[in-house]
């Protein structure tokens, strides 16, 4: 006490006293996380529950070569649901050789695209404050082909935690029944697991909304393939964005405006391996002579924390194709430190020598042009300057009509244009009711006009930089140049 009184003016002591005073209030003010029952009460009633009370009372536990054990604490003793005290005494060759398993009879299981919730509580009971457990949930058909609908491991801390996972099968699992498992053979460990539920909500809920409602990790929803062309509704279901940027009431496509699009790439799966790897910024400024200036900056994050930055400044006609009259183009590859990589830069000016005869435009120019078009606009066949450098002839841009897509729980109306031609992949343009371009898709790449575009890119860019630094440190430690 004497030391505290004599050092009361010391900054460190003052911080300790302040923290001691406010800590109880911080604990009381912390938001209480809803229980699973409170979450389920706000959702539609599930169509089916796949693990019965009898099955929970007698789980199917197995351990490779008996290198593990499971003690079941009955529901009456555990307080509401059986608790499984599991010890893995030796790590098996395959992680699924030790764990809990339940099966349903033939004719019982989810259908393709049903939304299934797998939820349970678990904790690690190994000695040591820093001890961590691991469990890998699985939901699949009982027989081959398995069509596994869950993926990834869950890390367990010392305190009880609720784990909610959402599975959406890519094929019907009804005929042969399903197997639900909690694989524990990932390491030697002691864990406790309780309150396991497997509930099928069918197709009455949106998968993306459901994942958000139950607080599930999108990355543990299995390797479900997309299976169709990307469009506004599908990209929203893939959690590529929360919503589009609202269009201001005074927006004029032929006026001055700016727009920032996030560049999203799909690797074939609904919720796995997809990336927000870039940004596309457009700035339109009208000129007094009826033309306009278009400034474009595109940034793409590459491996090894490198970036490719392309900048375009073009003067364009205000015609149906936003035909470029003249332009300058710069291309820079930057290393992990933001420094230009020698011999990879490029500077070009247009029009290019030997430019295509007849109507022509650039791929970025079409982002501007489609916003000024009407369904009645006559669009001639044209040549495309891909990246403002490579000429692709025989291109067409056509109006495909109005479409409705479910976004954030409501129907949204779009107008769609599609560009096709020689040597290019089809490109679709979706405009909202005010004529503002909200989404562009070509094959597996989407340009999204969304509020979180910059934040998404910066998060991915920082993850790549952190990964690069970690690998560089490992290489230095190993003496590898």
pLDDT digits (tens, 9 = 90+) for 362-373: 999 999 999 999
- Collapsing DSSP to helix, strand or coil, 78 comes out as helix
d(CA 107, CA 357): 65
Task: Tell me how far the alpha carbon of residue 317 is from its chain's centroid.
Answer: 38
The CATH number, out of the four listed (2.60.120.340, 3.30.2270.10, 2.60.120.260, 1.10.760.10), of the domain defined by the range 38-220 = 2.60.120.260
pTM of this structure: 0.74
Q: What are phi and psi of 24, to 5 degrees?
A: -60, -35
The SS3 of residue 305 is helix
Per-domain boundaries in the chain: 38-220, 232-464
CA distance 361 to 366: 7
Q: Which stretches of 274-374 are DSSP H helices?
A: 363-369
C-alpha span between 101 and 84 (Å, rounded): 12
Q: Coil, helix or strand for 453?
A: helix
Low-confidence ranges of the chain (pLDDT < 50): 1-5, 8, 11, 13, 16-20, 22-30
What is d(CA 325, CA 41) in angstroms, rounded to the nearest whole number?
61
What CATH number belongs to 232-464? 2.50.20
Query: Which neighbouring-strand residues pair with 99?
Result: 62, 183
Side-chain-side CA neighbours of residue 17 (13 Å): 11
pLDDT confidence of residue 96: 94
Residue of 448, 451, 443 lying closest to 226 (CA atoms): 443
Query: pLDDT value at position 357?
Result: 75
Q: Is 49 exposed, middle or buried (0-12, 13-18, 19+ CB in 10 A)?
A: exposed
| C-alpha distances out from residue 180 to 75, 98, 121, 290, 305, Å | 20, 13, 15, 66, 40
pLDDT at 30: 46
DSSP one-letter code for 218: G
Residue 345 has a pLDDT of: 93
* Residue 420 CB burial class (10 angstroms; 0-12, 13-18, ≥19): middle
């Amino acid at each position: 006490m004497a030391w505290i009184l004599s050092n009361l003016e010391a900054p460190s002591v003052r911080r300790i006293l302040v923290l001691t005073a406010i800590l109880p209030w911080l604990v009381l003010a912390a938001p209480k996380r809803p229980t699973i029952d409170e979450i389920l009460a706000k959702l539609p009633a599930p169509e089916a529950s796949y693990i019965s009370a009898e099955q929970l009372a007698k789980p199917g536990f197995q351990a490779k070569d008996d290198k593990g054990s499971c003690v079941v604490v009955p529901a009456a003793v555990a307080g509401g649901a059986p608790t499984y005290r599991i010890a893995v005494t030796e790590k098996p060759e395959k992680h699924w050789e030790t764990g809990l398993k339940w099966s349903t009879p033939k004719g019982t299981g989810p259908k393709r695209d049903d939304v299934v919730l797998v939820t349970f509580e678990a904790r690690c009971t190994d000695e040591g404050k820093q001890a961590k457990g691991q469990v890998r949930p699985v939901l699949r058909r009982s027989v081959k082909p398995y069509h596994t609908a869950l993926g990834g491991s869950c890390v367990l801390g010392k305190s009880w935690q609720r784990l909610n996972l959402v599975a959406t099968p890519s094929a019907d699992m009804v005929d042969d029944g399903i197997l639900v498992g909690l694989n524990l053979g990932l390491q030697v460990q002691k864990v406790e697991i309780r309150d396991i539920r497997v509930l099928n909500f069918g197709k009455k809920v949106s998968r993306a909304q459901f994942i958000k409602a139950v607080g599930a990790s999108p990355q543990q929803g299995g390797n479900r393939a997309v299976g169709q062309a990307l469009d506004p509704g599908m990209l929203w279901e893939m959690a590529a964005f929360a919503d589009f940027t609202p269009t201001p009431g005074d927006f004029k496509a032929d006026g001055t405006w700016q727009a920032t699009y996030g560049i999203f790439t799909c690797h074939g799966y609904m919720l796995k391996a997809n990336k927000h790897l870039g940004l596309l910024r457009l700035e339109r400024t009208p000129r007094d002579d009826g033309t306009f200036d278009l400034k474009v900056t595109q940034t793409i994050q590459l491996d090894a924390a490198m970036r490719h930055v392309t900048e375009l400044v073009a003067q364009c006609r205000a015609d149906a194709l936003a035909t470029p009259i003249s332009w300058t183009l710069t291309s820079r590859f930057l290393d992990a430190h933001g420094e230009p990589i020698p011999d990879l830069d490029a500077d070009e000016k247009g029009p290019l020598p030997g430019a295509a005869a007849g109507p022509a435009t650039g791929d970025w120019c079409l982002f501007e042009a489609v916003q000024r078009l009407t369904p009645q606009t006559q669009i001639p066949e044209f040549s495309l300057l891909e990246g403002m450098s490579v000429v692709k002839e025989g291109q067409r841009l056509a109006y495909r009509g109005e479409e409705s897509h479910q976004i954030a729980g409501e129907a949204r109306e779009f107008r769609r244009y599609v560009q096709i031609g020689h040597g290019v992949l089809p490109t679709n343009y979706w405009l909202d009711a005010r004529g503002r371009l909200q989404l562009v898709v070509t094959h597996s790449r989407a340009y999204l006009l969304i509020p979180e575009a910059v934040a998404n890119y910066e998060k991915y860019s920082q993850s790549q930089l952190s990964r690069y630094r970690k690998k560089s440190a490992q290489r230095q430690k190993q003496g590898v140049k």
